Structure 1
Amino acid sequence: MRFRYVYQKVVDLKSNERTQAEWMLSAAVGELEAQRRSLEQLFLDRANTLSEIQSEMENRASVVKLQELQYYADYLEVCISQKIGEVKRAEINVDKKKTHLTGKMLDEKVWLKAKEKEQQKFQHEMLLREQHELDEMATVRFAMKAR
């Protein structure tokens, strides 16, 4: 006789939920990394623009060109501020997904432990049945020899 766990579909569901939570965490981490790379690029653009402003000032460039560069630098500052907020939101999202995954892993572990206990109980009962059958066969043999 084979062991069949009554709640196997629940165990499978919990496993699938954990897998989905892992995927969601992976996607959130990917989004966070993309936001961080984007922020780094904005910092590089700002540094390049500021150095360009500095070199244009040394070369005595036109006021219009300097204003244009300054407007762009100001625009980059606004973008950086917004991107920092997006990075923080992405970090919060990653933390939420980690917490969600931890909960799903714990839930799955509880169900797997229940299945394991049920399987051990089943194996113990099977061993008792086998032992009972062997005892019965030995009793019958003894009775047959005694006659």
Structure 2
Amino acid sequence: MKFRYHFQKVVDLKSNEKTQAEWMLSTAIGKLQTEEEHLLQLINDRNNLMNIIQAATENCASVSSLQEMQRYAYHLDECISRKNSDVEHAQVNVQRNQSFLNGKVIDEKVWLGARDKAKGRFQQEMLLREQNDLDEMATVRFAAKARAN
């Protein structure tokens, strides 16, 4: 007789939910990395611009070009500020997805544990039945031998 767990579909569902939560977390981490890379690029652009402005002031560049570069630096500062906010939102999303995944992992472990306990009980019952069958066969043989003598 083979072990069949009555709630196997629930176990499968919990496993699928955990897999989906893993995908969601993976997606959130990818989004966070993209936002962080974009932020780093903006910071590098601003640093490069500051170096250009420094060199332009030393070379006595025109006031209008310096003002234009300063406006662009201000624009980059605003972009960096917005991107920092995007990174924070992405971090919160990663944490939320991590918590969600932790819950799904716990759910799956609970159901797998219940299935393992049920399987253990089933195996014990099968061993007990087998032992009872062997005991009965031995008793029948003993009784047959006793009658024959």
TM bracket (short chain) = over 0.9
Partner of 1:12: 12
Which deviations, in whole Å up to 9, do the C-alpha atoms of 1:113-137 show, x marking residues without a partner? Answer: 0000000000000001001111110
Aligned counterparts of 1:55 and 1:142: Cα–Cα separation in 2: 107
Partner of 2:23: 23
| 1:35-74 alignment runs, 5 A limit | 35-74=35-74
Aligned counterparts of 2:55 and 2:132: Cα–Cα separation in 1: 95
Which deviations, in whole Å up to 9, do the C-alpha atoms of 1:86-118 show, x marking residues without a partner? Answer: 000001001001100000000000000000000
Which deviations, in whole Å up to 9, do the C-alpha atoms of 1:69-95 show, x marking residues without a partner? Answer: 011000000000000000000010010
State yes or no: 1:78 paired with 2:97.
Answer: no
Partner of 1:146: 146
Which structure 1 residue ranges, 5 or more long, are not aligned? none
Partner of 1:98: 98
Aligned counterparts of 1:126 and 1:47: Cα–Cα separation in 2: 73
**AA partner of residue 96 (structure 1):** R
Aligned Cα RMSD in Å? 0.6
Which structure 2 residue ranges, 5 or more long, are not aligned? none
How far did residue 49 of structure 1 move? 0.7
Partner of 1:126: 126
Residues paired across the two proteins, number? 147
**AA partner of residue 72 (structure 2):** Y
**AA partner of residue 114 (structure 1):** A
Aligned counterparts of 1:122 and 1:139: Cα–Cα separation in 2: 25
Aligned counterparts of 2:60 and 2:139: Cα–Cα separation in 1: 113
TM-score, length-normalised on structure 1? 0.98
TM-score, length-normalised on structure 2? 0.97
**AA partner of residue 56 (structure 1):** A
Which 4+ runs in 1 deviate beyond 4 A?
none
